[in-house]
């Protein structure tokens, strides 16, 4: 995962340098300030809204939007997996043609980007559809095997409104695929970031510390210790970073001297900040102290990264500054409030948020579908009967021993309804 601030094709934040062997005119101070300020704003948007949507995601009922929980074991393995992936991409670019690899990656991220952008804009677009919009429900279901061995591979529910959002996202996808324009790149990058913060959930604060600590070392090693991350970032043409031109004021939308922020610097701290928001809600104090503290810490850490990079004119591993800030600030607040134990004992995956239905057991249903449907209709259509007062009658109704006796009793009731009336009069 690329996570650093850098030049136009470098995975970190850095002032853009020449990429085609020609000398570019230096960027103006106004252009640099606009580029860095825009990157900071674009980084904050998916973290803020992704954290809010992560709470709704935990409360949601749709199985297709259920979050993926990261455990401490996953967090410990993640830096190793990320390092192997990064090194593998580096070797691929050294051995094979860069053009064909980027073509394959472009098609892959084209599909992922359309799906991510569609999922991102769907809640906003629903507000613009008229009330009489013909909305139909669909389900995409892929199964493997048959009978008792049938296993669901894909079970995705969607409607007509989702198809409209998918069509709009496809337009952006084609634009990115044909032009590789930086605006289309940023739209996909923001969608990836927001979906990552929303759907990736840390199960507790200790897991978050393990993940951030491991990637803290990962980022420093691959940025300062080797040229692997820089080489991959320069060769990798995919929406895995946010970019903004530093010469926008001079060249407009055709500007090509970019500052860059890797998506790893947004998603990794973002899922930790979202965890602290859910922790705030679990305290039931109607305050979001830890969320706002970590959010302010992220602004401080990323601002410090930009400042250091601008002073030393070198790409910086942003997690070097973000990890101490995002972990240190909330822990200090917890120490001041005496809530360190509550913070580290909080389990996000085990918490039942308000209005979240949970199924603790599965009811057993027997009989054919037709008989079940008939019995349901009879219960709904028939009048409500008074509950029998005799406990033995209740037991006999729920546990009949002789089916023939039950049939005879029903026939007797139908044949002589006057007996029942006489008993009631008595």
Catalytic positions, please? 219, 265
Helix (H) and strand (E) counts in the chain? 16, 7
Write the DSSP string, 350-398. T---TT-----SPPP--S-HHHHHHHHHHHHHSPPPPPPS-HHHHHHHH
CA distance 101 to 236: 9
Tell me the C-alpha to C-alpha distance, in Å, between residue 246 and each of 27, 43, 228. 6, 17, 25
Q: Could you tell me the maximum CA-CA distance found in the chain, to the nearest angstrom?
A: 108
CA distance 91 to 81: 15
- How big is the chain, counted in residues? 426
Could you tell me the end-to-end alpha-carbon distance of the chain, in angstroms, rounded to an integer? 83
Nearest of 353, 400, 425 to residue 54 by alpha carbon: 353
CA distance 21 to 16: 13
What the block records as the tokens of 44 is: 């904050």
The DSSP element (H or E) to which 37 belongs, if any, is helix 29-59
CA dihedral 411, 413, 415, 418 (to 10 degrees): 180
Q: Where are the alpha helices (DSSP H) in 128-159?
A: none
Which SS3 state, helix, strand or coil, does residue 155 take? strand
Q: At 139, phi and psi to the nearest 5?
A: -145, 130
Write the DSSP string, 301-332. HHHHHHHHHHHHTS-B-THHHHHHHHHHHHHH
Q: Which residues does 87 contact at the CB level (< 8 Å), separation at least 6?
A: 228
Which SS3 state, helix, strand or coil, does residue 202 take? strand
């Amino acid at each position: 995962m690329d996570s650093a601030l850098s030049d136009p094709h470098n995975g970190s934040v850095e002032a853009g340098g020449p990429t085609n062997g020609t000398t570019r005119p230096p960027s103006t101070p106004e252009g640099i300030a606009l580029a860095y300020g825009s990157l900071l704003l674009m980084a904050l948007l998916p973290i803020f809204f992704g954290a809010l949507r992560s709470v709704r995601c935990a409360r949601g009922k749709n199985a297709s939007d259920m979050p993926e929980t990261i455990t401490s074991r996953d967090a410990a393995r993640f830096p190793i997996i990320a390092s192997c992936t990064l090194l593998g991409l580096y070797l691929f670019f050294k051995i094979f043609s860069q053009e064909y690899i980027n073509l394959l990656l472009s098609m892959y991220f084209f599909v992922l980007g359309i799906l991510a952008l569609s999922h991102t804009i769907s809640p906003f677009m629903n507000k613009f559809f008229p009330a009489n919009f013909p909305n139909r429900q669909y389900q995409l279901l892929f199964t493997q095997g048959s009978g008792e061995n049938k296993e669901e591979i894909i079970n995705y529910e969607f409607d007509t409104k989702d198809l409209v959002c998918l069509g709009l996202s496809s337009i952006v996808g084609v634009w990115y695929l044909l032009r590789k324009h930086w605006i289309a790149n940023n739209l996909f990058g923001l969608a990836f970031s927001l979906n990552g913060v929303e759907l990736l959930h840390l199960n507790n604060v200790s897991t978050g510390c393990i993940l951030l600590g491991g990637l803290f070392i990962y980022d420093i090693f691959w940025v300062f210790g080797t040229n692997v991350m820089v080489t991959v970032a320069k060769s990798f043409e995919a929406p895995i970073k946010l970019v903004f031109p530093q010469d926008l004021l001079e060249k407009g939308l055709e500007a090509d001297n970019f500052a860059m922020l890797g998506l790893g610097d947004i998603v990794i701290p973002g899922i930790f900040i979202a965890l602290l928001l859910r922790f705030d809600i679990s305290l039931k104090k109607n305050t979001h102290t830890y969320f706002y503290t970590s959010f302010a810490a992220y602004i401080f850490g990323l601002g410090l990264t930009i400042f250091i990079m601008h002073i030393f004119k070198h790409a910086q591993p942003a997690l070097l500054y973000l990890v101490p800030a995002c972990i240190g600030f909330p822990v200090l607040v917890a120490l001041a409030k005496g809530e360190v134990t509550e913070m580290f004992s909080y389990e996000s995956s085990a918490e039942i948020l308000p209005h979240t239905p949970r199924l603790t057991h599965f009811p057993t249903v027997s009989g054919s579908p037709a008989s079940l449907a008939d019995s349901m209709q009879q219960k709904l259509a028939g009048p409500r009967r008074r509950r029998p007062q005799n406990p033995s009658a209740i037991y006999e109704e729920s546990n009949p021993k002789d089916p023939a006796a039950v049939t005879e009793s029903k026939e007797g009731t139908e044949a002589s309804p006057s007996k029942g009336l006489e008993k009631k009069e008595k």
